Amino acid sequence: MTALLLAALVLAAPPGETRPSTEILSGRVPPARLIKLTRGINLSDWFTQPPDDPEKHLDPNNMAKDVALIKAMGFRHVRLAFGDATVVDPQTPAILNSEKMKRFDAALDMLLAADLAVVVDFSPGHDYKRAIEKDDAAVENFVGLWRALAKHLASRDPEMVFFELLNEPVMTDSARWNVIQKKALAAMRESAPRHTLIATSAEWSECYKLELVEVVADRNVVYNVHYYDPVRFTHQDAPWVGDWVKGLRNAPYPSSPEVVAKVLDGLPDDTARKLMINYGKEKWDAAKIEEILAEGAAWGKKQGVAMTCNEFGVYRKAPAADRNRCIEDTRKAMEKFDIGWCMWDYAGDFGVATGKPGQRVADADTLKALGLMSGKPKSRPPLLKGGRKFRNSLKERKGY
């Protein structure tokens, strides 16, 4: 870090506020913030992936219930995804809409008041991400949106609020992504000198793309991956994944030729049977998951940067006990390698909670897999008092 940047950081602390921590001054993400970036849950449906009835999700009473449940479950942070339509209008893609921001700010207030840290994650639709892949004007709008949003959020506590550049860039051109990433991070820094920023790799934030990421000079940046292996298990028969997992029902975890043999008869066709047989031969288990995450962690170590994995999880159509085992193995591997984590997701298809907005309940077995509860609770968390029971249930797909 240059002397100039250090001086800028010190001067940037508003009067009466604490100076940047020694970690920031010496060019590191403060350890207390890295702890906040463990035990997270994706709050995916407040401002993205519009549910059947968005108004129900954004009903303040239902939101308050979500926040209380998330807190009671023991999470430290939420990843609050937002689309471009949440903050700007299509005609003015780099200017914040003040009415829309009121709603977004109110949601942030609610989460912070519950002492939940928040990763503010820009998660626009596919078209937006495809546009920045090719079109430099679209890149300018993306950078401009972050310039405006970071300025708007600059007064938020940097110990509690994190800015994540982009959810799963789809572009395959890592060199182009590195340039865009650097530019957008610099735009965020213009008015938010003390916040921790979250960067990622091209191509869906896959671990194996990390090698191509150019680490920026700014050291108060965390590098993030998404981890869904083995996809044939975590996304079994998921309609949005398509042929790769089509018809794969009741896929077990761990996998071996012997265990998959037991479910072959129940599969709809030969294609699904072939997929299942291959999945069995691949022998997925905790050691294999560790091996992949170890590679990501090794990259972080080599680069001297902190790492998080803010999406992992298993579709609720997977057999429940195996689903929880896979979640537990993945979470433990991340903890072993000091990778912060955030499970996908709160109450969607991969949820740690089930039920409709306003009536959500925790899945105790998934919480246990996340290390947040030791089995069936003896005393229920506050929100679950009054007759509601923990339950495992499959949630109907929303249909993308």
Q: Phi and psi for 196 in degrees, rounded to 5?
A: -85, 130
Cβ of residue 105: shortest distance to ligand BGC, in angstroms?
23
Site string (37-76) toward ligand BGC, x via CB under 6 A: ------------x---------------------------
- Which residues, 6 or more positions from 215, have their beta carbon under 8 angstroms from its beta carbon? 223, 303, 305
Place of tokens 């993030």: 224
Residue placing its CB nearer to ligand BGC in the complex, 164 or 311: 311
Cβ of residue 234: shortest distance to ligand BGC, in angstroms?
8
**What is 189-219 written as a DSSP string?**
HTT-SSS-EEEE-HHHHBGGGGGGPPPPS-S
Is residue 168 a contact residue for ligand BGC (CB under 6 A)? yes
Cβ of residue 378: shortest distance to ligand BGC, in angstroms?
33
Residue placing its CB nearer to ligand BGC in the complex, 21 or 48: 48
Contacts (CB under 6 A) with ligand BGC, residues 106-145: none
Q: Phi and psi for 188 in degrees, rounded to 5?
A: -65, -40
Residue placing its CB nearer to ligand BGC in the complex, 142 or 344: 344
The two beta strands, 221-226 and 197-200, are: parallel
Cβ of residue 258: shortest distance to ligand BGC, in angstroms?
28
Can you tell me whether residue 161 is helix, strand or coil? strand
Q: Which two tokens stand for residue 311?
A: 């999406």
Residue placing its CB nearer to ligand BGC in the complex, 50 or 257: 50
Residue placing its CB nearer to ligand BGC in the complex, 128 or 390: 128
Residue from 133, 41, 50, 128 nearest 78 by CA: 41
Residue placing its CB nearer to ligand BGC in the complex, 121 or 322: 121
Residue placing its CB nearer to ligand BGC in the complex, 374 or 393: 393
Number of chain residues interacting with ligand BGC (CB under 6 A): 6
Residue from 139, 134, 135 nearest 181 by CA: 139
Residue from 206, 189, 118 nearest 150 by CA: 189
Cβ of residue 179: shortest distance to ligand BGC, in angstroms?
24
Contacts (CB under 6 A) with ligand BGC, residues 221-250: 235
Site string (336-375) toward ligand BGC, x via CB under 6 A: --------x----x--------------------------
Contacts (CB under 6 A) with ligand BGC, residues 285-324: 311
Residue from 146, 147, 148 nearest 166 by CA: 146
Exposure of 262 in the CB half-sphere (CA atoms within 13 A): 8
Q: Applying CB under 6 A, which residues contact ligand BGC? A: 49, 168, 235, 311, 344, 349
